[in-house]
Each structure stands twice: as C-alpha cells, then as structure tokens.
Amino acid sequence: MYGKDRIITISLILKDKIRMKSRKWAYGVVRWRLYLLHYMRLSSNSVWGLLWEHVAAMSLRSKLITLVFILGFTHMAVDYIYTNEDDMYVSSDKEDLKLDKATQTATFVIIVGYGRTGSSWLGEILSKAEESFYMFEPMQRPLAEGYYLTNMVAFNNNSYRRPLSLMERHDFMITTIHRVFTCQFSLLHTFSQEILVRHQVRLNAGTFTHCRDFNSYRSYFCIKELERVCLSKTHRIVKTIRVSMELVSNMVEMWPNLKVVHLVRDPRAITHSRSKGQDFQMALDTVSHSADMCTRMFEDVKQDWFIQRKYPGRLIIVSYEALAGSPYAATGFIYDFLNMLFREKTWFWVFNSMRNQNETETHYYATVRFNSSKVANRWRESLYYKKVQEIDLSCTDVYKALGYIPISSVEDLNSGKPTRRKVDNIEGYL
C-alpha cells in the first residue's frame, strides 16, 4: 500500500533531484505529483487499472499527450533510481562551485586539524556563536580513514593510493563542503546528511528532538529545516581532519569569503594521545608514526605560508597548547579573526569545557576536560625519554616552523621546562 505521506516525500525528493539536473523538468514533476496523489490511493495494481481506464476514454490527441507524460515520468523515475552518482554528488567543473555575490555575504569557515589535536573542542567553541552554523566532519563516513590530496587518498602511515570509489575522490569532498557552506543539505550524500542531523540534535538539545529518529521520511523535513536555519546564519563552519592544506588552498582561491583556522599540536602530545586509542594503533610504532605525521604537518605548514602570502587575512594557525593555556584570549583572537562576537554565553561554555571537576566523566573523544592545560602537557608524564627523542628527531622541520622545542635530557622532560617558543613569521595564535 502507498501512503499519502510516502507519496508526498517521494515526489518532493524527485522534485529536488530534477531541479538539480534540469530545471525544465520541474513543471512536469509538479503535475505528476498531483497525478500521483490522485491515483495512488490504492495498491499499485489498482493504480495502473485506473490509469488504463482513464487513457482509454481519451481522444487520440489526449492519449498521445498522456503517453508522452507517462514516458517522461517513467524516465525520470528510472533516472532517479539509477542515477550516475557523479551527477548527484560531484561537480568536477570549478565554475559550478564558484559563488555569486549573494552567497558571498556569508562567511565560510573551515577548521583543519589532525586526529587528536583538539579540533572537535575548537569546533564546538566556534559553534557557540549566535551567528554560526556548525557541521562536524561531513566526510567522516564517506572516508572513515585517511585524508584527501589532489586525486589521491593519503593515510596516517604516509601511504597513498588512487581513489577506489566516488566517495574517495577529492572533488566529491570539495563538492560536499561547498554544499554545506551554501546550505544545500538536501543534495548531500545520505552519509553526510545523517552526520549533520545527529550532530545538530546533540548540539541543540531540545531544538531538533523530532529529528532523532533518522529515517527516509522524517529526515527529509529535518534536512529542510536545517537548511533554513543555516541560511539565517552569517557564518557557516566546517571542522575536518580529512583534508590537506593543498586542497584548502584551492578552496581559498575559489571562495573569496572563506577563512581558514589551521589547528596544530605538539607532535609528542599527538603521538601520546593516539597511542591510547584503538583507532590510531600505528602510533605505537613511534619512529614511523612520527615521521609520517610530521611529514604531513610540514607539507601543510608550507601551504599555510603560501596562502598567507597570497591571500593575507584569510588563514591563521592556532596551536592547541596556546588555546588550552590561554583559552579566553585565544578564543577572542579567533572570534576577532572571523568577525564574530565573543559573547558571555561562549565564555561560560569555554570555562565549563575545560574545568570539569570529575575526571571520570570525560572520555577519549570528549570535548569537555577536567583540566585542559594539564591535558595539553600530559605527554611529559607518560612518554619515555627515548620515545620523546625519536619524535624530536623525526619532527625537526615542524619544530622549527611552529616553535616547538626538543627535549635534551630526562631532567628537562620532568622539570617543566618550556617546550614552545614564540614564532614571529606566522599569523596566528601560537
């Protein structure tokens, strides 16, 4: 049996899909939506019986017109079911992804980090601004592991390979982020839609509770509601650990209203944090992991230098240690860079997020910590000096670029000696 609600949902989705492929089909879809609502009250067999009787009673001219509409609708339905995914989720032409002046009135923000750098914490700090709409990891399910380079998929062990599927192509990722920034959530892959809905339900307790049960009928209307909320915000923010700064450089060129916050962290702290989780077992091999990680970080920093020279005022680098050590000043600096107002509500959220009195209430992926400053330096209490030496040796270039200081003795490791110095040639908060 076809329910009226299901028919409406299918027809609405068809309407959006056809508009995306060709606006000339829109009028026909509206007419056939009404036709479906009229005839699909019974089972599918009865529908075709009524349709046949209706056609038999028509004149020849009317039959031909009706036949054309039937064939057109059948083509659209088959096309919807068997659509080439390239047409739905990927725009290979950069011209299609450029923005008109109306869209440029909003500020796009991308937070780029690495696994275990505190990027989720920074993302939630920025999400608390009243003028922001925030999306967490739109590529988390399409690309569970690894990150995007141009026409390549790279991994934390510094291996590379060609994309194996549509969802591993970098133009799929760029198209997805463009649709998030322009609030076209109904055109996102269903994986990204599910991440969007579930995260918004968690961030806005009590606001989107009707979206908790994610299914094909209710999700459509939740997606549309989120689109309206997004369009009302002046800042659209995406946080991701699955993109290289090489691709961000392309985004900066395409989208004049894009600003970038590149979050970095002491490689010794990243290694220590990763070694505690099941998703980063490669970190147990300190030598190879630190070499791979710092190679990626240094390549990204070189892209940062290029962007800051060519597009001044568009990118800042922020270290997790500086953010955790001076959270209010750092948050104010980032908010100023993004032209957002650092309100009292955000101040209190930052305060509560780093001063949880009960350490047992936190977990590996939590954005609330009992003491953020202590967390930032915990590696000094847990890493053996030999492992610290191995990381220091592999990350010399990153240390020089970002101001991290090698540890020269066991005494320095345990004494609380500073592990960062001031960096003058980078715009950011280090």
The domain that contains 376 carries what CATH number?
A: 3.40.50.300
pLDDT of residue 179: 94
Domain shared by 20 and 165, yes or no: no
Could you give the dihedral angle defined by the CA atoms of residues 356, 358, 359 and 365, in that order, rounded to the nearest 10 degrees?
-60
Q: Which of 19-28, 133-142, 355-364 has the lowest mean pLDDT?
A: 19-28
Q: How confident is the model at residue 91 (pLDDT cuts 50, 70, 90)?
A: confident
pLDDT band at 343 (very low <50, low <70, confident <90, very high): very high
Q: What's the pLDDT at 353? A: 84
Q: In which order are the strands placed within the sheet that holds 258-264?
A: 132-136, 235-240, 107-112, 258-264, 315-319, 428-429
| Identity of the amino acid at 265 | R
The reply to whether 35 and 167 lie within a common domain is: no
| DSSP assignments along 340-403, one per residue | ----HHHHHHHHHHT--S-GGG--TT-S--S-HHHHHTTHHHHS-HHHHHHHHHHTHHHHHHHT
Q: Which of 59, 83, 107 is the last residue of a domain?
A: 83
* Beta bridge partner(s), residue 263: 318
Mean pLDDT, residues 293-304: 96
Q: Is 67 found in the same domain as 118? A: no
E strands, 253-337, are 258-264, 315-319
Average pLDDT, the chain: 81
The confidence band for 427, taking pLDDT boundaries of 50, 70 and 90, is: very high
Instruction: State how many domains the chain has.
Output: 2
Q: Are 242 and 143 in contact (CB under 8 A)?
A: yes
pLDDT for position 77: 58
**Amino acid, res. 251:** M
Is the model more confident about 416 or about 99? 416
In a domain, 89, yes or no: no
Q: What is the per-residue DSSP string for 48-62?
A: HHHHHHHHHTS-HHH
Same domain, 193 and 67: no
Confidence of residue 220 (pLDDT cuts 50, 70, 90): confident
153, 30: one domain? no
Over 50: is that where the pLDDT of 317 sits?
yes
Q: Based on the domain organization, do 12 and 160 belong to the same domain?
A: no
Domain that holds residue 14: 4-83
**Residue 249: pLDDT above 90?**
yes
264 in the same domain as 176 = yes
Most confident of 51-60, 76-85, 154-163: 154-163
**Claim to verify: residue 220 and residue 138 sit in the same structural domain:** yes
Q: Residue 45 has what pLDDT? A: 53
**Domain annotation covers residue 88:** no
**293 assigned to some structural domain:** yes
| pLDDT score recorded for residue 52 | 60
Predicted pLDDT of residue 35: 45
Most confident of 156-160, 313-317, 365-369: 313-317
Average pLDDT over residues 60-72: 71
Residue at which a domain ends, from 43, 59, 83:
83
Whether 57 is covered by a domain: the verdict is yes
Task: Based on the fold, state whether residues 19 and 115 are members of the same structural domain.
Answer: no
pLDDT at 365 over 50: no
Give the tens place of pLDDT for each residue, 149-188: 888 999 877 788 999 888 888 899 999 999 999 999 999 9
Same domain, 209 and 262: yes
21-30, 37-46, 221-230, 279-288, range with greatest mean pLDDT: 221-230
| Shared domain check, 356 and 243 | yes
Q: Say what the pLDDT of residue 291 is.
A: 93
pLDDT band at 43 (very low <50, low <70, confident <90, very high): very low
pLDDT-based confidence at residue 281 (cuts at 50, 70, 90): confident
Q: What is the mean pLDDT of residues 132-154?
A: 89
Q: Is 27 within the bounds of a domain? A: yes
Domain for residue 330, yes or no?
A: yes
Instruction: Let me know whether 137 and 168 are in one domain.
Output: yes
Last residue of a domain, one of 50, 83, 116: 83
Give this prediction's pTM: 0.77
**Is the residue at 322 inside a domain?**
yes
Measure the N-to-C terminal CA separation of the chain; round to a whole number of Å: 62
pLDDT computed for residue 283 by the predictor: 74
